[in-house]
Amino acid sequence: MQLLLDTHIWLWSRDEPKRLNRRVTNALEDSRNELWISPASIWEILHLSGRGRMKLKGGPNRWISEALAKVSYGEATLTNEVAMETLTFVLPHRDPIDIFLVATAKVYDLTLVTSDTKILAAKACAVLANG
């Protein structure tokens, strides 16, 4: 399975793994699965940290660098196709990061791992629910 990690899932997998359910934990630890990160999640972490909404040990740059070095992640780049895909579905909220993550999952044929109930309810892409 190819898994795109929602930003909070990526954070929890490193800093608060007890927040992940057994199914998600098993999927993240299964060496047969590929883990993917979107640059949108990196931007979100930098943005939230810069606004003081999250504190990361060593700061956001160090946290991101260490997280990317510790586990092999595919980079689900933001492309023109991803941007255009954002118009093919509707989420019950207009969070631009969530919109880009769903579009990325659709374009790259990835399963989005998330706890976001609004994304889960929208059924706009394949998901692995944490919750």
Q: What pLDDT tens digit does each residue of the chain (131 aa) get?
A: 999 999 999 999 999 999 999 999 999 999 999 999 999 999 999 999 999 999 998 999 999 999 999 999 999 999 999 999 999 999 998 899 999 999 999 999 999 999 999 999 999 999 999 98
Label residue 59 left, alpha or beta by phi (over 0 means left) and psi (-120 to 50 means alpha).
left
105 is in which domain, residue-wise?
Answer: 2-129
pTM above 0.75, yes or no: yes
SS3 call for 123: coil
SS3 call for 50: helix
On the 0-12 / 13-18 / 19+ scale of CB atoms within 10 A, 3 is: buried
The count of domains in the chain is 1
Number of residues written out for the chain: 131
Q: Assess contact for 83 and 103: CB atoms under 8 A.
A: yes
Q: Copy the structure tokens of residue 83.
A: 């941007």
DSSP secondary structure, 8-65, as one string: HHHHHHHH-GGGS-HHHHHHHH-TTSEEEE-HHHHHHHHHHHHTTS---TT-HHHHHH
Backbone phi, psi, residue 3, to 5°: -115, 120
SS3 call for 86: coil
Backbone phi, psi, residue 8, to 5°: -65, -35
What CATH number did the domain enclosing 122 receive?
A: 3.40.50.1010
